[in-house]
Amino acid sequence: MGHVTATVLIGKVRTMDLARPSAEAVALEGGRITAIGPRAEVLAAAKGAEIVDVGDAAVLPGFVDAHHHVAIAALYDGAVRLVGPRVHDVASMQAALREAASRAPSGRWLVATHWDEARLAERRAPTREELDAAVPDRPLFALHQTCHRAVANTRALDLAGLGRHTPDPSGGLLARGKGGAPNGLLIERGMSRVEALARADRLQVDAEGALDRMAAHLRALARAGITRVCDAAVPRDLVPLFRALAARGDLVVPTHVCPVSIRGWLEEPLDALDGLVAGEQLAEDLVVGPVKLIFDGAPGCSLCLSWGQSLVSFARSLELTLRRRSLDALRTTFSITPRVGRDVRSGVAIYAPEDAARVVHALLDRGSSVATHALGNAAIEVALGAYAAAGAALHRGGAARLEHAAFAELEQARRMAGLGVAAVVQPAMLEMAMLESAPTIPGLPFMPLRRLRDAGVRVAGSSDYPVHTFDPLVAIRAAISRTTARGEVVDEAQRIDLDEALAMYTRDAAAVLGCDGETGTLEVGKRADVVVVDDLGGASAAVRATWIAGARVGPA
């Protein structure tokens, strides 16, 4: 953290305060904003302060990332990353795993991350036999890029007690091969047992390394202009990492932690608050946030489509296949395993409606607010039903949230607004590789930012890192342009403008986290959380410097 001094920033100040949206200067002292307004008035009020004239750069409230995964990313980032250009097919994945195993402590788990079948030449997950050939002598757990599936070798499956006669868990799947034996692919709750064992091993072997990586990651967030973050999945065995980070003085970015079950982040989280208190301040700038629930899968989100929507979407996948001369679009379409009837349903529905209502009610009774992962319209429907059943208790512990809301119907957006439910979205996902081969669905746009905002929903911005980049400027650009990595525009009618995109990462994200009295806008008395951005809204937008509680971090 930089040195705290009295500072006056002069530039194009965008306060994000609706009552006074712009100013010429802002004064920071004692970790607070002490003056804001015309340049002459601020300078007069802050005599002796260091003057920083940023010219044409924009001065903004610090960015708030309302859905991030600091702890899990740091714990597993010490493992091998199965990404290109080195990993491009199953054989190169085996080579990377074999080499990593040769360097790992004897008898310990090997953990790998970031594999993605869409980036492998075979366009499929590696099998248990292929993993055994690479790593035969120790348990292996390899987490998918989405963190919603994994692959494991025989040693890992055996330690977790997953075999031919193990039933699929509710809300999950053990993919199977010959004779019904697990083939190594673990989907949604199917991976929880293995992940919990791998996590415990990593904490024994590499807790100090995880702390160092967390500290480095938080400094990187600060350099990117992020001055507050919400870790959206923290089992209680990872909470001590945050306490230790605070004790070391390395919690440079104020952090909210969302508890999840120690049995796995997809499991029913009725144990999530064991040893914790909803809203508790664990240390300076470390707060217990809402309990996290997960109602559907990713990328296999829980969708319900009419036959008309399904047929048009299939036709679009055929068109993509012919135009790009690649089968990826058809593979994506059939990978969701559609179930047909009066309508077409796909994806993994992790909670039945009655179970969703029961769990939400139980958590609200313990004084917690809730943040529910719901990507597909079917999962959103289940979540809204559970929220509506909660009645007046819904917001007792803070804002009720829907994480992602990526395929919200128009009527669902209106119901969200009526219930006062916030959407926590990740517009940078528009640039993810997996979206490149996904056909659009008529009437169900992906990441419907305009629909949500026009319905009156409070929309908070976030990254879902490590699923995708945490750079807020990338997300803001994507929200405005709706452009994929291929340069194609997706659901153009869902574009929002620069002011709306900035609000998602400042004022609205702070409100969703319940800290808008402290941050999110530049106002006298609030924390001196400030970011300076060059070429705001332009193609070369970049963070020049960040102040957190008046201490300068940077330059970027």
pLDDT band of residue 407 (cuts 50, 70, 90) is very high
Report which of 233, 298, 242, 281 is spatially closest to residue 261, judged by C-alpha positions.
Answer: 233
Identify the domain boundary among 200, 219, 236: 200
Per the domain annotation, does 1 fall within a domain? Answer: no
Torsion sign, CA atoms 54, 59, 62, 67: negative
Torsion sign, CA atoms 383, 389, 395, 396: negative
Would you tell me the crossing angle of helices 70-77 and 239-248 to the nearest 10 degrees? 90
Report which of 399, 407, 416 is spatially closest to residue 509, judged by C-alpha positions.
Answer: 399
Domain shared by 540 and 466, yes or no:
no
How many domains does one find in the chain? 3
Domain shared by 376 and 407, yes or no:
yes
- pLDDT tens digits, one per residue of 201-246: 999 999 999 999 999 999 999 999 999 999 999 999 999 999 999 9
Domain shared by 332 and 365, yes or no:
yes
- Output the domain CATH number for residue 385: 3.20.20.140
Stretch 31-54: mean pLDDT, rounded? 96
Q: Which domain holds residue 136?
A: 71-200
- Output the domain CATH number for residue 41: 2.30.40.10
Stretch 185-190: mean pLDDT, rounded? 97
Please say whether the beta carbons of 13 and 522 come within 8 A.
yes
Domain shared by 432 and 530, yes or no:
no
Joined together, the tokens standing for residue 485 give 């990595």
- 483 secondary structure, DSSP code: B
- Output the domain CATH number for residue 180: 3.10.310.70
pLDDT number for residue 310: 79
pLDDT band of residue 315 (cuts 50, 70, 90) is confident
Per the domain annotation, does 456 fall within a domain? Answer: yes
Domain shared by 376 and 302, yes or no:
yes
Domain shared by 51 and 79, yes or no:
no
pLDDT number for residue 116: 92
Q: Count CB-CB contacts under 10 A for residue 53.
A: 11
Domain shared by 29 and 152, yes or no:
no
Stretch 22-34: mean pLDDT, rounded? 97
Domain shared by 343 and 411, yes or no:
yes
Please say whether the beta carbons of 505 and 58 come within 8 A.
no
- CA dist 469 and 466 (Å) reads 7
Report which of 133, 203, 131, 192 is spatially closest to residue 160, judged by C-alpha positions.
Answer: 192
Share of the chain above pLDDT 70, in %: 96
Q: Is the pLDDT of residue 332 over 70?
A: no
The C-alpha angle with vertex 35 and arms to 32 and 37, in degrees rounded to 5, equals 140
Mean pLDDT computed over every residue of the chain:
93
Per the domain annotation, does 467 fall within a domain? Answer: yes
Domain shared by 540 and 515, yes or no:
no
Which of 150-154, 351-355, 427-431, 495-499 is least confident? 427-431
Q: Is the pLDDT of residue 264 over 70?
A: yes
pLDDT number for residue 358: 98
Domain shared by 172 and 321, yes or no:
no
434 CB contacts (<8 Å, ≥6 apart)? Answer: 116, 118, 299, 332
pLDDT number for residue 256: 98
Identify the domain boundary among 200, 231, 253: 200
pLDDT number for residue 78: 78
Between 468 and 225, residue with greater pLDDT:
225
Q: Is the pLDDT of residue 556 over 60?
A: no
Q: Could you tell me which residues are beta bridge partners of residue 234?
A: 259
pLDDT band of residue 333 (cuts 50, 70, 90) is low
pLDDT band of residue 323 (cuts 50, 70, 90) is confident
- CA dist 257 and 242 (Å) reads 9
Joined together, the tokens standing for residue 423 give 């959407």
Burial 227-257 (b: 16+ CB within 10 A, else e): bbbbbbbbbbebbebbebbbeeebbbbbbbb
pLDDT number for residue 174: 96
Please say whether the beta carbons of 387 and 421 come within 8 A.
yes
DSSP 395-420: GTTS--EEEE-TT--HHHHHHHHHHT
Domain shared by 407 and 506, yes or no:
yes
Q: Is the pLDDT of residue 317 over 80?
A: no
Domain shared by 388 and 486, yes or no:
yes
Per the domain annotation, does 261 fall within a domain? Answer: no
Between 165 and 326, residue with greater pLDDT:
165
pLDDT band of residue 94 (cuts 50, 70, 90) is very high
Per the domain annotation, does 219 fall within a domain? Answer: no
Which of 348-357, 422-431, 484-493 is least confident? 484-493
pLDDT number for residue 111: 96
456 φψ region: left (φ > 0), alpha (ψ -120 to 50), beta (else): left
Identify the domain boundary among 165, 200, 235: 200
Report which of 548, 549, 536, 551 is spatially closest to residue 11, judged by C-alpha positions.
Answer: 536
Per the domain annotation, does 374 fall within a domain? Answer: yes
Per the domain annotation, does 218 fall within a domain? Answer: no
Q: Is the pLDDT of residue 127 over 60?
A: yes
Please say whether the beta carbons of 417 and 455 come within 8 A.
yes
Per the domain annotation, does 282 fall within a domain? Answer: no
pLDDT band of residue 331 (cuts 50, 70, 90) is low
